[in-house]
Structure 1
Amino acid sequence: MRKGLLAASVAMLSLLLSGCVSIPSSGNVQQGDPAPSDASSLDLDILVDPPIVDGTQQQILDGFLTAALSPRNNYQAAYEFLTPAFKEQWQADENATIDVLADREFEEVSDSQIQLTATPAASLRDNGQYEVATSAAPLQLPYTFEQVQGQWRIASAPAGIVIDQANFTQVFREYTLYFFDPAYRFLVPDSRWFAGRDSAQTSVVQALLAGPAAWLAPGVVTAFPEGTELSPAAVPVSGRVAEVSLTGAAFDDIAAAQRMQLQLNQSLVGSVRNVGDVALILNGVESDAGIPANPAVRDPRVDPRPVVFDGESLGYLSTSGDGITPIPGISEQVAQSDASGAAIGPDAESAAILDESGVSVITADADPVPLDPRSGLITPAFDRDGVVWSVPADAPSDLVWFSADGQKSDRIPVPWSGTSIAAIEVSRDGTRLLALLGDGPRTYFLVAAIVRDGDGLPVELGTTVLRLAEVDGVPLDVAWVDGRSVVSLTRVDGEATRIVTQDLGGFASTRDGPLAGRLLDAGNSIRDVRVLTDSGSLVVQSGVGWQERASGIRFIASQLPG
């Protein structure tokens, strides 16, 4: 085997990024780094050379892989490297394999075939959904060649494109689509990646009409009626107004029209370049329904103060870190129970606690109600529908829930496997369950959709999950940062810890946590991540280190928006 492409590709990409784009790049983006937030840095206009005259098979393949970095005119430049017959078959936008450039190797399998061996970092589905690779096992990608009028051209190749990590965010941009929780109280984000600045608004609307990603679909709904089509099949933008023309349904429900408008506004305005407003046209008539009078909430926020317990009081830690404001009617009961963990319920009117007797729920001025007496339980999770979730650490499949009136579920089938489970937390909109699991020497976390009935009680978890990053070590804790980001804490090498921050449907970043970290809380942003150590110190990141904010803390409690 040889690394024939590597030197050629590095040279091409260096030239590409330094002088052949309309907007310069500031450098490579490695997998795990957050995607750039400046839209202008993503709207690149890549210039690609045509096939080399009398080029070798390797040169033609090098040129094809580089040309596939340009989505202009539906990857027109890449199609120039294909035989006339294969041009009719190859689908550039079917999917994308995101690989590690330095690991690419090539082997001449025969006098008409070259095999590319690539190390996958992630993949992109045809609907724009980004998925972290679940295995680093090499991919074998064959390319065959034929001569066309004396020139080598590619006669067969894998569907979609192969793009390295460094260039992925130069070609693709992340967009957030929005759907609803089943009660239309909240807007739920669904991240997608699309290439091509001129067609981004069309890609977003088509994806909205196609519906949520498979893993999210069981827990959300859309306002667009089944059979709705974009006609014409493009979204023109004039004067910063995107014109979305829909057909295929009656559209006689004003509430549905208002929700469609809200979904379009949230998914396009401020996300797609040059879109400042959306004109919705239904069966040829411009809608004047507007948006709902009480629109669904996007990204509900929690109290920025962490909820902590110091052995005497459960409440909100002051900004200075030298005092706790107790939660009335609950703080005293938690102190009496000698709880080791807790989750605060909606509006801080209740708490699910873990103590030696198991999991109980506490409400103001009422006796604790025992829920789950099983041994070895982890700290329970509370959701905004008043449901408490509970599972033993060494039995990840034994998940159950309890309603506000004490109703207990049967064991909920779980869409995960592992030897242990360290933490669970429900998203603030109630649509998704986050779980941190151990599987032998590895830690991984995932998100599954929650299916609920008309009363808000869980029915099941979605069978397809969004699997997130993996690291070596012992799983400790997870938290929601906001509606589309999560964070995990893992113990590695003695007292050292790792913190993984993950965009759902996007990148993960890993950083060193504090020594002897045990629990974490995220507030409303990455800057708000707080870690509790074994010694009872609550620390926050300050520069490259960790600074103590409070001491004598027994545990941090998750909380829900008011």
Structure 2
Amino acid sequence: MRRLLAAVLGGALFTAGLTGCGIPADSDVQVDGSGPAVEGGSTNGGGSRPATRTDTNDPKEFVRNYLAAAAGEREQAYSRVMQFIAQDAKGRPSKRQSSEIALTVVRLRENPEARSNSDGTYDVTVRVQQVGVLRADGTLAPPTASETDYRFKLRPAGDGQPGLVLTELPNVLLLSDEALGSYYVEHTIYFWNSDHTRLVPDQRYLPSAVPAERRVTEVVKWLARGPSDWLAPGVTQLPDRTAPINNATGSDGRWEINLEMPGANDDQLALLATQLAWSLPELTGQLDLKIQNQNRLTVDLKQERLDNPAYPTSGSPERYCVYDGAIHPLSFVGEPSGTVPVAAAANKGVVSAALSRSGDDILAALVVTRADRKQRLMVGSGPDPVTPSNGTGWYASVGRPTWLRSLDPQHQYGLVVADNRLYRFDDLAGLKQILLPVQGPVSAVAASLDGHRIALIVDGALYVAAVSLDGGMSVGQPRRLVTRLTDVTAVDWYAENQLVFAGSELRSEGRPERSIYQTTVDGARDTALKRDIGAPVTHLSAYPGGAVGGLPTGSYMYEANRVAYRNNGFDTIKRDQVLDVTPPAAGVKASNPTVPFFLY
């Protein structure tokens, strides 16, 4: 019998379309909206197709168009690319089966540079950042290439043909991250965790021109093939040799999926039906699930999503901060504000905190300090107000803790960084170091809404990793994300498949500056949210939920230079927005609110 999940949140509002809808990538973008995830049937590119060889005679624009030529359905990718290349060109990519085609995704660091030659040819150089490899299964795997620039030679097509052709080029199928955002749909599919109590998202990319029936078939194939490599340790796969027997069909609000699924029983089919309902969020109507041509289960897709919500939240999200060493609620017009769910006796000497709802209980993890500035983690759980009384040892520095949102009240775990090492803790404050297979000091950790994915900062770089709660808690092999920012200082989950993070970037004039960016969980799309901050961001907290309460997905707050801000207008959080504090005496300067965070 499946355990029903807690209250639903929609998925992520993604701004991959920001640069494609007239908002420049370096603007201070404010993400708003409280609707559900971008549906699997929606498109960033509106079904449009990449430019052709004859669309421009400008060599720089021609190379940009070439970097989008492979975008779209794999069966035609090779032929689209070959239209740009002369028959005698050096570096012609070798032809492969569509199922074997992998595209090297690159991010242009700057505009292409072009030089015209006396013989009528052109040399074009493109400086790039390697982003990843787009596989035929829609996953973006880590990059395998190391090139930082690519060089092309072009000439007029000749023989009475219009346009240009490539005569020298890299022997690899390239795709720009801009083309990935323009001609592909970000599509989330879901896998169950080990005890089948939580759905865990997995990011994929589907050509935007693919029709509905093909989308269904592709999603079924993806689920049968299993999760992305980095996510695999945190989820379970379908039974071995599960595969579609033929393409999915649908008409008049009724869909049919026919599978080979050895040993399929009723419980497995019920779990699969929920996976399919959430992995195909744009579909409504009836789904007939067949095993070897035998109708085994019929579900109403919309009702299936209502009966088995995806994520655990309860109540409206509320904003808090630390003020003069104690947790206080924040008050903003149009938003809910609460009371402090921590007993007054324990709410002292607080440096940072993580509060989470678990049914009717509150999970509290407080970092407190003493006179010599040593810090420790205090943990507790129970009814509001909770008294964190279980403490760990003292450390030189303890980072902001994060709770894994488990559905099992008997096994509540969290993660925290202490003295540049990652530790697991439970609601009794038992601390156990987690040894990571990546080298370097750990400076921050943040958990996703599903509780089976984490983001890490190791040696100033951004990583994601899967978490398994099977028989305790373990962290899988972290995957490093390629970003424009270096010296990353803070991170949190911004939406279902989105991270918000802060670090340093070099602008075109060569000067470093502090910025806040958002990126996908695979690092594919990097979008600036706030630039010219002026100081390192030392704290960052986001609300990754959906259509609940008054806060939209994508709300975040941060601290820099001991001043706290919220993203809605990038306003400074002022003392008079902090509740339950005594105004300072005349002539005494008021303290600043610090380390703002959300409770949900």
Q: Pick the TM interval, shorter chain.
A: 0.7 to 0.9
Partner of 1:462: 476
2:42 to 39, 44, 68: 39
Partner of 2:297: 288
Partner of 2:548: none
Q: Deviation per CA, 1:53-96, whole angstroms, max 9, x where unpaired?
A: xxxxx999999766534538533444667879987546573224
2:198 to 186, 195, 199: 186
Task: Please say if 1:71 is aligned against 2:73.
Answer: yes
1:306 to 319, 327, 334: 319
Cα offset, 1:175, TM superposition: 0.8
Query: In the alignment, residue 485 of structure 2 is paired with which amino acid?
Result: V
Cα offset, 1:380, TM superposition: 2.5
Partner of 2:449: 428
Partner of 1:447: 464
Specify whether residues 45 and 239 from structure 1 end up closer, same or farther in structure 2 by C-alpha distance, changes over 3 A only: farther
1:539 to 553, 562, 565: 565
Partner of 2:257: 244
2:521 to 504, 517, 525: 504
Cα offset, 1:192, TM superposition: 1.0
Query: In the alignment, residue 353 of structure 1 is paired with which amino acid?
Result: L
Conserved? CA contact 1:343–1:557, under 8 Å: no
The alignment covers a number of residue pairs equal to 506
Tell which deviates more after alignment, 445-454 or 88-97.
88-97
2:229 to 214, 218, 231: 214
Cα offset, 1:560, TM superposition: 6.2
Conserved? CA contact 1:450–1:458, under 8 Å: yes
Query: Hey, what's the Cα distance between the residues in 2 that align with 1:435 and 1:88?
Result: 39
Cα offset, 1:218, TM superposition: 0.6
Cα offset, 1:406, TM superposition: 4.7
Query: In the alignment, residue 479 of structure 2 is paired with which amino acid?
Result: V
Specify whether residues 72 and 45 from structure 1 end up closer, same or farther in structure 2 by C-alpha distance, changes over 3 A only: farther
Conserved? CA contact 1:98–1:168, under 8 Å: no
Cα offset, 1:285, TM superposition: 1.8
Task: Please say if 1:529 is aligned against 2:556.
Answer: yes
Structure with more of its chain in helix, by fraction: 1
Q: Which runs of 5+ in 2 are unaligned?
A: 1-19, 32-36, 118-122, 155-160, 370-374, 406-410, 546-551, 579-590
Specify whether residues 363 and 47 from structure 1 end up closer, same or farther in structure 2 by C-alpha distance, changes over 3 A only: closer
Query: In the alignment, residue 361 of structure 1 is paired with which amino acid?
Result: V
- SS of corresponding position for 2:485: strand
Partner of 1:401: 424
Cα offset, 1:447, TM superposition: 1.5
Conserved? CA contact 2:463–2:479, under 8 Å: yes
Conserved? CA contact 2:290–2:297, under 8 Å: no
Task: Please say if 1:412 is aligned against 2:412.
Answer: no
- SS of corresponding position for 1:529: strand
Query: Hey, what's the Cα distance between the residues in 1 that align with 2:220 and 2:335?
Result: 50
Query: Hey, what's the Cα distance between the residues in 1 that align with 2:194 and 2:350?
Result: 34
Query: In the alignment, residue 558 of structure 2 is paired with which amino acid?
Result: V
Specify whether residues 265 and 293 from structure 1 end up closer, same or farther in structure 2 by C-alpha distance, changes over 3 A only: closer
Query: Hey, what's the Cα distance between the residues in 2 that align with 1:242 and 1:530?
Result: 43
Cα offset, 1:431, TM superposition: 0.5
Query: Hey, what's the Cα distance between the residues in 1 that align with 2:561 and 2:63?
Result: 55
- SS of corresponding position for 1:206: helix
2:401 to 373, 380, 385: 380
Cα offset, 1:284, TM superposition: 0.7
What TM-score, normalized by structure 1, do the two folds share? Answer: 0.73
Query: Hey, what's the Cα distance between the residues in 1 that align with 2:330 and 2:103?
Result: 47
Query: Hey, what's the Cα distance between the residues in 1 that align with 2:526 and 2:65?
Result: 30
Specify whether residues 367 and 258 from structure 1 end up closer, same or farther in structure 2 by C-alpha distance, changes over 3 A only: closer
Q: Deviation per CA, 1:526-547, whole angstroms, max 9, x where unpaired?
A: 5522234555x64323447656
Query: Hey, what's the Cα distance between the residues in 1 that align with 2:322 and 2:180?
Result: 44
C-alpha root-mean-square deviation of aligned residues, in Å? Answer: 4.9
Cα offset, 1:302, TM superposition: 6.9
Query: In the alignment, residue 130 of structure 1 is paired with which amino acid?
Result: L
Cα offset, 1:361, TM superposition: 1.4
Query: Hey, what's the Cα distance between the residues in 2 that align with 1:134 and 1:315?
Result: 47
Query: In the alignment, residue 566 of structure 2 is paired with which amino acid?
Result: V
Specify whether residues 288 and 235 from structure 1 end up closer, same or farther in structure 2 by C-alpha distance, changes over 3 A only: closer
2:495 to 482, 485, 498: 482
- SS of corresponding position for 1:216: helix
Cα offset, 1:464, TM superposition: 3.8
Conserved? CA contact 1:312–1:332, under 8 Å: no
Tell which deviates more after alignment, 96-105 or 254-263.
96-105
Query: In the alignment, residue 387 of structure 1 is paired with which amino acid?
Result: Y
* Correspondences of 1:82-481 after superposition (within 5 Å): 89=96, 91=98, 93-100=101-108, 102-103=111-112, 119-120=128-129, 122-126=131-135, 127-130=137-140, 137-140=147-150, 161-195=173-207, 196-198=209-211, 199-222=214-237, 224-232=238-246, 234-239=247-252, 241-251=254-264, 253-270=265-282, 278-288=287-297, 290=299, 291=304, 295-298=308-311, 300=313, 303-311=316-324, 314=327, 316-320=329-333, 325-328=338-341, 330-335=342-347, 337-347=348-358, 349-356=362-369, 357-363=375-381, 368-384=389-405, 385-393=411-419, 395=420, 398-409=421-432, 411-419=433-441, 421=443, 423-439=444-460, 444-454=461-471, 457-459=472-474, 461-467=475-481, 469-473=483-487, 475=489, 477-481=490-494
Cα offset, 1:556, TM superposition: 3.9
What TM-score, normalized by structure 2, do the two folds share? Answer: 0.69
Query: Hey, what's the Cα distance between the residues in 2 that align with 1:480 and 1:388?
Result: 15
- SS of corresponding position for 1:163: strand
- SS of corresponding position for 2:219: helix
Q: Deviation per CA, 1:23-52, whole angstroms, max 9, x where unpaired?
A: xx8669869999998935524343876899
- SS of corresponding position for 1:215: helix
Query: In the alignment, residue 528 of structure 1 is paired with which amino acid?
Result: S
- SS of corresponding position for 1:352: strand
Query: Hey, what's the Cα distance between the residues in 2 that align with 1:430 and 1:171?
Result: 31
Q: Which runs of 5+ in 1 are unaligned?
A: 1-24, 53-57, 109-113, 145-150
Cα offset, 1:333, TM superposition: 3.1
Query: Hey, what's the Cα distance between the residues in 2 that align with 1:390 and 1:73?
Result: 47
Conserved? CA contact 1:86–1:155, under 8 Å: no
Query: In the alignment, residue 226 of structure 1 is paired with which amino acid?
Result: D
Specify whether residues 220 and 39 from structure 1 end up closer, same or farther in structure 2 by C-alpha distance, changes over 3 A only: same
Identical-pair percentage: 16
Specify whether residues 268 and 358 from structure 1 end up closer, same or farther in structure 2 by C-alpha distance, changes over 3 A only: same
- SS of corresponding position for 2:418: coil
Partner of 2:3: none
